Structure 1
Amino acid sequence: MDPYELGSRGLHLTWPMLQHYVATPELTAEAAADLFSAIRSGVLQIEPSHIYSFDDVVQAHHDLEERRTTGSAILRVTQM
């Protein structure tokens, strides 16, 4: 979607920013501590949606370009 096309129809594009929810560095640190605590305790699970081997780098790019992935996609690189 080209965001400039929205203007002619009186529409606009917006998204949330962290500063809208936390006003100080201390509140940011507290929110981050809560987040990582939830991850450590298993309340939140953050598994990547796709893990690609380095041999599949072309497929990984195609999947990203075609929006076939959600969340994190990992390219696994191993030492030879």
Structure 2
Amino acid sequence: MCERPAYKKAIAKKVTSVACLFAGAKPAQKDDNTNAPTQRNMSLEKGVFVYHLQKDHTNLTDNTKAVLEKAFN
């Protein structure tokens, strides 16, 4: 995301730290699409990007980008 000037500024301003946690992941739901469980376990709150890791999460790069874009807009 830092390749795009607008996002680079937003990241520098809004993301102060990153936390990757190996516990507390929310499980997939029956009607989830492929990306929903991964995105549901990512958040940006008070400057901290938090990711609750789970072994079957998919497409981390694109899902992280989607979560941050949503938080920035």
Smaller-chain TM-score bracket? under 0.3
Structure number with the bigger relative contact order (C-alpha 8 A, sep ≥ 6) is 2
Relative to the length of structure 1, the TM-score reads 0.24
Looking at secondary structure, tell me which structure has more strand per residue. 2
Looking at secondary structure, tell me which structure has more helix per residue. 1
Relative to the length of structure 2, the TM-score reads 0.26
Q: Which has the larger radius of gyration?
A: 1
